[in-house]
Amino acid sequence: MTRLTQADCAALDQSDALREFRSEFIVSPEGVYLDGNSLGLLTHAARDRVRTLVEQEWATDAVQGWHKRDWVNLPERLGARLARLVGAHADEVTVADSTSVNLFKLAVACCRANASGKRRKIVTELGNFPTDLYILQGLTELLGSNLELCAVPREQVLNTIDGDTALVVLTHVHYKSADMFDMPAVTRLAHEHGALILWDLCHSVGALPVDLGGAGADVAVGCGYKYLNGGPGAPAFLYVKRELQQRLQPSITGWMGHANPFEFGDDYRPAADIRRHRSGTPGILGLAALDGSLSVFDRVDMQAVRHKSVRLTELFIELVEQECAGHGLSLVTPRDAAQRGSHVSFQHDNGYEIMRALIARNVVGDFRAPDVVRFGLTPLYTRHVDVWNAVAALREVLETGAWQQADYRIRLAVT
Amino acid sequence: MTRLTQADCAALDQSDALREFRSEFIVSPEGVYLDGNSLGLLTHAARDRVRTLVEQEWATDAVQGWHKRDWVNLPERLGARLARLVGAHADEVTVADSTSVNLFKLAVACCRANASGKRRKIVTELGNFPTDLYILQGLTELLGSNLELCAVPREQVLNTIDGDTALVVLTHVHYKSADMFDMPAVTRLAHEHGALILWDLCHSVGALPVDLGGAGADVAVGCGYKYLNGGPGAPAFLYVKRELQQRLQPSITGWMGHANPFEFGDDYRPAADIRRHRSGTPGILGLAALDGSLSVFDRVDMQAVRHKSVRLTELFIELVEQECAGHGLSLVTPRDAAQRGSHVSFQHDNGYEIMRALIARNVVGDFRAPDVVRFGLTPLYTRHVDVWNAVAALREVLETGAWQQADYRIRLAVT
């Protein structure tokens, strides 16, 4: 095998079908940002949309903005655009709250709809993103002794799904390893046993084509601030398939989920559609940033994103193995692209210090306890030459032992 | 009694101790905005803070902003500043989610802590703001048959609180009538019966001094987008008194409420303090706007706000009675200032059309179904002469019958 060079990477950038999109983002001219799966970069469109929202709409229209500017329907308008990215119908998605709150709402709703008699298991993966585990632990306690949470190692998940399973909750692409579940196959398995399935799309949406409809998935949640570039703590989204929309009752019955909130009546009556899973007044500033960033995605072919993502992750693995061999890094991420999301992770006993040393060199990836360094490859703004430069910095840090001198204690990022 | 004139109002503005604050806001030079209790106006400070957050912090620091800019603690930093406005200790308040979600979280927590045996009633007011009623209806169903929701007419609320009551949920200032509960007395009554009490401060905070600590209140929630001017759908806040912080378990156990979220462990362990009631990743854009608007409140004497609020509401009532008598308006708001918040409402069979006609004249108040017109008086930017001008427009609309010609169907505002 011939050694890859920086020139090879530059040549790949020349033929990159997505290269025009990089100029949509505000990218630092120095360094390499490989943490778009924790917080996506700012787009010019999001910056402009927030400015307009605050400085023209709020400033000029004040309360009348709710109708004049249709803020009141912004969650569903964004949901309809997001739907294309996850293979859903426009009326199956809305934007609301945080991923954690949406996960709570839909998991509770699924348990109420599908748990009874012996069917009382919730199956999930040990080592799943913590909020998924924590939310399920909390709701099992909240809803009482009829439910049992079965959090099992990844390799046992499929065997644990059985006729006693009410709900399966899985993250499509693992936040640490980038391991990807076969969504159609696992969904089919859950359905064969009469279970409902909730997919967490935090590390999938915007990074690869998702086809909830094709898989027959029941419900899903996902994050606005990673690959969707909606800004720090951006509002999250939720999906409920049409066939379930009447059956699933809302869990947090706030006024914005009412069939007619402006009737101001004393009795709750859920909206007939996806809106029933709204709770409080939608946060319009966060929605505005996401509105802007989605206007970039509106023009993106997700197959092209996947194609480049696979190429970038392959390149990253290949270069690390070429440049950094013998320094104790072990690949955590699957080698088979079909089983991999859009980030690459390595285990190293000194992962924490290594990542801090990289960040001091303007190569920003992420550390995930206890010992994983993680690099997110975001096809809309990561270049092949960025991969080269990041790996060159990693090599320098490892070869010189620079990471040993660093003294970094403060944890740096939020997933 | 001598008739009040526009000149009298202008003179009151001259001696207004808070008049310098109006220049902190972006106020339309035309018309009168009397809907700050639905959506507060934009401050220069909020505009600037959002610009800095997006265009400097997110743009430059990206994911590192969580620690470099301390976004991760922004909810508690804002909570500590809000604490002064509600008579709480700095560590008793945090900013999170929406009012509806916070109400759900704290009401569920109180029921779990205090309901058992015969003690299973939740007492609230019929005609309370809908989300309060809806959330309580939903959680009573969710938590099972042990709980009973007693929503009774306002005049029966106090008599309904008894030894079987687990929780009392009341809105301090009524969203429609501006009727104000005696917080210390009602809190005392609830405690005498062994009940916990949750106060909804949506129409109080920022409009009048609230003293949760002095009243011994247990828990509270409130809104960021009304008198606090945090922007459309701004994040809400929640309060838990120190003595209860260990006893109340979190209801939506997301990762940001974990004792150490960045340890990424499999098992949920709630934070020891107010942070346990966080759920997902905080929405930093919304928090930034609130950060800006609170920087104005940091310099405000809430006693001066109350003094001016009382004067403005008195003036509004007096002028409507002087200028608009005989046109079918009946005062809904208490005449006694001690029992009144900072808005004034009138019943009129054609309230909806009247409000639409006023808005067409750039006098923006609000309509609340079925027949109430509501005018919010916000001491930081409402002038006495604004009250004069608003009442003059109301008089014109009533005398000419202009409202009869208007054809307005679309509901206009969100409370």
Identify all chain B residues contacting A51, using CB atoms and an 8 Å cutoff.
51
Instruction: Give me the pLDDT at residue A413, please.
Output: 47
pLDDT at B415: 41
List, for residues B227-254, the tens digit of each pLDDT value.
999 999 999 999 999 999 999 999 999 9
Q: Report the pLDDT value the prediction gives residue B146, as an integer from 0 to 100.
A: 86
CA distance A175 to chain B (A): 11
Whether the per-residue pLDDT at B207 is higher than 80: the answer is yes
pTM over 0.90: yes
Residue of A nearest to B359 (CA): A64
Do residue B252 and residue A135 have CB atoms under 8 angstroms apart? yes
Confidence of residue B317 (pLDDT cuts 50, 70, 90): very high
A158 CB within 8 Å of a chain B CB: no
Q: Do domains B6-42+301-405 and B70-297 have the same CATH topology?
A: no
Query: How do residues B67-100 score in pLDDT, each as one tens digit?
Result: 999 999 999 999 999 999 999 999 999 999 999 9
Cα nearest neighbour of B133 on chain A: A266
Q: Please report the pLDDT score of residue B29 as a whole number.
A: 87
Asked if A133 lies within 8 A of B50 by C-beta distance, the reply is no
What residues of chain B, 98 to 127, have a C-beta less than 8 Å from chain A? 98-101, 104, 108, 112, 126-127
What average pLDDT does the structure give for chain B? 96
pLDDT in tens, chain A (415 residues): 689 999 999 999 999 999 999 999 999 988 999 999 999 999 999 999 999 999 999 999 999 999 999 999 999 999 999 999 999 999 999 999 999 999 999 999 999 999 999 999 999 999 999 999 999 999 999 998 689 999 999 999 999 999 999 999 999 999 999 999 999 999 999 999 999 999 999 999 999 999 999 999 999 999 999 999 999 999 999 999 999 999 999 999 999 999 999 999 999 999 999 999 999 999 999 999 999 999 999 999 999 999 999 999 999 999 999 999 999 999 999 999 999 999 999 999 999 999 999 999 999 999 998 999 999 999 999 999 999 999 999 999 999 998 887 565 455 444 4
Please tell me the predicted confidence (pLDDT) of residue A145: 66
pLDDT of B413 reads 47
B6-42+301-405 CATH choice from 3.30.479.30, 1.20.1260.10, 3.90.1150.10, 3.40.50.300:
3.90.1150.10
In the three-class reduction of DSSP (H, G, I as helix; E, B as strand; rest coil), residue A121 is classed as strand
State the ipTM, two decimals: 0.96
* pLDDT > 60? residue B406: no
* For chain B, domain boundaries: 6-42+301-405, 70-297
Mutation target among A122, A143, A281, A371 for the B interface, most CBs of B within 10 A: A281
What is the fold, at CATH topology level, of the domain defined by A70-297? Aspartate Aminotransferase; domain 2 (3.40.640)
Which residues in chain A have Cβ-Cβ distances shorter than 8 Å to B232?
Answer: 58, 65-66, 71, 281, 283-285
In this prediction, residue B38 has a pLDDT band, given cuts at 50, 70 and 90, of very high
